[in-house]
Amino acid sequence: MRTLLYLLPGMAVMALAVWAYSENYETQEALNDVETLQRKIGTERETLAILRAEWAYLNRPERLRDLADLNFDRLKLLPLTPEHFARTEQIAYPGTILGGPILNPIPVDSTGANP
State the pTM of this model. 0.52
Domain parsing of the chain, residue ranges: 17-77
Helix (H) or strand (E) holding 26: helix 2-58
pLDDT of residue 82: 86
Task: List pLDDT tens digits, range 96-109.
Answer: 555 667 778 787 77
Contact (CB, 8 A) for 51 and 45: no
Task: List pLDDT tens digits, range 46-92.
Answer: 999 999 999 999 999 999 989 988 988 888 888 888 888 888 888 87
- Using the CB atoms, write b or e for 28-45: b if 16+ within 10 Å: eeeeeeeeeeeeeeeeee
Q: How far apart are CA 53 and CA 55, in angstroms?
A: 5
Q: How far apart are CA 38 and CA 45, in angstroms?
A: 10
